[in-house]
A and B are shown apart, each in its own frame.
Chain A
Amino acid sequence: QKEVEQNSGPLSVPEGAIASLNCTYSDRGSQSFFWYRQYSGKSPELIMSIYSNGDKEDGRFTAQLNKASQYVSLLIRDSQPSDSATYLCAVSSGGSYIPTFGRGTSLIVHP
């Protein structure tokens, strides 16, 4: 069974700090990695996808992938209260297009 593990949190950071969210996965055949943000009572929305080892930056967000360690992370720089949400890590095997989701990490950014 493919598993995606996340610390449920909550992770609490002050406004302006860097938030670091982590995710590990069990399937070594995984090829596609995603971070979805879900506000309370809302549906998930994609914020980052990464397919190759290393870092991928998009604005204040950086996704980091290490396939050898089966580890993917999301860094949020200059965290804002509006970043407070649950962040879901999702992983899919090459060509399957069927993502497996982790349980999510709750992030709280306090002023």
Chain B
Amino acid sequence: NAGVTQTPKFRILKIGQSMTLQCTQDMNHNYMYWYRQDPGMGLKLIYYSVGAGITDKGEVPNGYNVSRSTTEDFPLRLELAAPSQTSVYFCASSTAGVGANEKLFFGSGTQLSVL
């Protein structure tokens, strides 16, 4: 049982480059999320999805795009990378709406540096 799988684990980008962070889950969860975590800070929501074909902005969406063509996959696209996007990125899925208890399952994270 893989849970939430994120790739890559580490990446260094040059300013202005683009990349896609991959996220896939095998738990058939409808809700998926992308968070970023800066040093000493909590998790800031970038985008979320409540099901295939439905996405919405979170607290810090600028500079990012997402798509959700299947229940399993929720890739995050960075266009024109900037140093301010240096962070650790976490993908998560949730048991939201299934039973009484919500729980987020997190991927192992992607450490991204933009230089």
Contact = CB atoms under 8 A, between A and B. Distances in A.
A97 B31 contact: yes
A44 B101 contact: no
B102 A44 contact: no
A4 B102 CA distance: 18
Contacts, number: 54
A98 interface: yes
Nearest to A99: B104
A67 interface: no
Contact of A4 (B31, B42, B58, B106): B42
A68 to B, nearest CB: 23
A98 B45 contact: yes
A86 B110 CA distance: 19
Interface residue tally on B, bucketed by range: 20 to 34
A92 B102 contact: yes
B96 A45 contact: no
Interface in A26-80: 32, 34, 36, 42-46, 49, 51
Interface residues of A, number: 25
A49 B106 contact: no
Interface string A70-111: 000000000000000000101010000111111110000000
Contact of A97 (B41, B42, B94): B94
Contacts of A97: 31, 50, 94, 96-97, 102
Contacts of A44: 43, 90, 104, 106
B89 to A, nearest CB: 11
A45 B42 contact: no
A12 interface: no
Interface of A: 1, 4, 6, 8, 32, 34, 36, 42-46, 49, 51, 88, 90, 92, 97-104
Task: Please name the 5 residue pairs, one residue from A and one from B, whose CB atoms are nearest each other, closest first.
Answer: A97-B96, A43-B106, A101-B42, A103-B42, A101-B43
